[in-house]
Amino acid sequence: MFESLRKKLKIFKESVSTEESELNSATIEASEDKTTPSDEAPEEASYETTTQKVVDVEAIGHASEYVEQVPQRVEPSNGRVSTQEKSIFERKIKGKDLEDSLWDLEIALLESDVAVSVTEEIVETVKEELVGTKRKWRQDVGTLVEKALRDGILKVLDVSGLDFDEFIKNTPKPVTIVFTGINGTGKTTTIAKLAYRLKNQGYSVVLAAGDTYRAGALEQIERHAEKLRVKLVKHQQGADPAAVIYDAVQYARAKHKDVVLADTAGRIHTNVNLMNQLRKIERVIDADLVVFVDEALAGNDAVERALQFNTAMAIDASILTKVDADSKGGTAISIAHATSKPILFLGIGQNYEDMVKFDPQWLMNRLFDEADA
C-alpha cells in the first residue's frame, strides 16, 4: 500500500541529497583554488625554525636526548586554517537550493491525493526545517530530509486524539455509535468488523439496521448479525431510520447491552433530502459517537464528502476502508487535517479481523520504511 507516494517521497530525498552533495563539492573545489603562496610561507618558516632548534641543542652537547626526534611541522596560529576548514566542511542549506525540489515535492503530494491546503502545510514545514540547517561534509542529507518530511506529515495528522478502546471502556452503557457515509465504501462491513472486535473484547453488541432504503441493505446486515451471533434490531424496508435506531437503543438499555452500532442509508452528500434524514437522527438519537466511513481510494472526494457530512451531522471521527488497495496514501494524510477529527481505524481487507487502529507512526513506517511496506 501507498507505493506511489512512498516512491515520490524517496525521489525527493534523493533529489535534495544529490543537490547538496554537488554544492558541497563545488564549495570544496572553490576553496582549494584560493590557496596562495603567502599561505604556505609561514609554514616553511616554522619548519626551518624547528630544524634550527635541533641543531642548536646538538651544538651544546645534548644531542643524545634529541637524536631520535624528527623535525615537526608547526601549523600557523593566525586562525586562517580553522576558518577555512569550517567553511569547507560545514555549510548552511539555503532556500534557493531547495526551490526545484520543493516544487517537485508539492506536485508529488498533489498527485498522491493530498489536499491542497495539506500539501502547502507539509511543504512549508519541510522548508522551515531544512533552510538554515548547518550540515557537515559527508553528513547524510537524506536523514535530515526524511526527518523534515516525517515532521511535516505528523504535524498535519496532529488532531485531538481519540482512543476508541478507552472511549468504549469509559463511556456509560449502552454506548451508541452512528455510522454515516455513501454507498459502496464498506460502511456496513466496517460496522461488522467493529462488532467482531468489540465482542472479542467481551462487550455485548446490538446492531441497528438504519439503512432502510437501499435494496439488499437489510439482508447484508442480517448475514453479518447471524455470523457474529449478535442482536439485530430492524424494521421493514422504507421505515424511518431514526425510529429503528431509537428502538435499538431502548432495547440495549432494557437488556443491559454495552454497545449499539447503528447503520444509516448510504447517501450522496449532494442529496438534500437524505442529508436531512441525518439531521433528524441527530435530533432523535443522542449518539455518543458519530463516525464517517469512506474509502481511501476516493482521494480528495473523500475529504470533500467528510466536510459535507459534517455539516449535516457533526462527525467525531473517521474510518478509512480499502487502504490495502490504496497506492497513493493522500486520503489518510488529508482527511484528519481537513475535518480536524481523528482517524480511528483503517480497513485493510475483507475479513472481520482486517482492520487496524490508526497510528500516525504506523503510516510513517509504511511511507518511509521499505521493509514495512
pLDDT at 60 over 60: no
Measured in whole angstroms, the distance separating CA 61 from the mean position of its chain's CA atoms is: 77
User: Above pLDDT 70, what percent of the chain?
Assistant: 69
Whole-number Å distance between alpha carbons of 143 and 118: 23
CB distance 265 to 277 below 8 Å: yes
pLDDT at 22 over 50: yes
Q: Could you tell me which residue, 235 or 145, shows the higher pLDDT?
A: 235
User: Above pLDDT 90, what percent of the chain?
Assistant: 31
Q: How confident is the model at residue 8 (pLDDT cuts 50, 70, 90)?
A: low
Per-residue model confidence as pLDDT tens digits over 265-280? 876 655 667 777 888 8
Whole-number Å distance between alpha carbons of 150 and 121: 13
Q: Could you tell me which residue, 248 or 141, shows the higher pLDDT?
A: 248
Rounded to the nearest 10 degrees, what angle do helices 141-156 and 116-130 cross at? Answer: 140
The pLDDT assigned to 317 comes to: 93
Nearest Cα residue to 161 out of 348, 324, 317, 320: 317
Give 134's DSSP letter. Answer: E
Across the chain, mean pLDDT equals 77
The pLDDT assigned to 3 comes to: 66
Q: Which strand ranges, in their side-by-side order, compose the sheet holding 289-295?
A: 231-233, 205-208, 259-262, 175-180, 289-295, 317-321, 343-347, 355-357
Q: How confident is the model at residue 338 (pLDDT cuts 50, 70, 90)?
A: confident
State the burial class of residue 369 (Cβ atoms within 10 Å of its Cβ: 0-12, 13-18, 19+).
exposed
Sign of the torsion formed by the C-alpha atoms of 277, 278, 283 and 287: positive
What is the mean predicted confidence (pLDDT) over 244-269? 91
pLDDT at 148 over 90: no
pLDDT at 50 over 50: no
Lowest mean pLDDT among 6-10, 52-56, 167-171, 302-306: 52-56
Q: How confident is the model at residue 61 (pLDDT cuts 50, 70, 90)?
A: very low
Lowest mean pLDDT among 15-24, 296-305, 344-353: 15-24
Per-residue model confidence as pLDDT tens digits over 342-352? 999 999 998 99
CA distances from 22 to 99, 127, 264, 299 (A): 15, 19, 58, 37
- The three cell numbers locating residue 178: 452512528
- The three cell numbers locating residue 184: 459502496
**What pTM was computed for the model?**
0.73
Q: How confident is the model at residue 19 (pLDDT cuts 50, 70, 90)?
A: low
What is the mean predicted confidence (pLDDT) over 364-373? 65
Per-residue model confidence as pLDDT tens digits over 190-232? 999 999 999 999 999 999 999 988 778 899 999 999 999 999 9
The pLDDT assigned to 162 comes to: 84
pLDDT at 304 over 70: yes
Q: How confident is the model at residue 177 (pLDDT cuts 50, 70, 90)?
A: very high
Q: How confident is the model at residue 87 (pLDDT cuts 50, 70, 90)?
A: very low
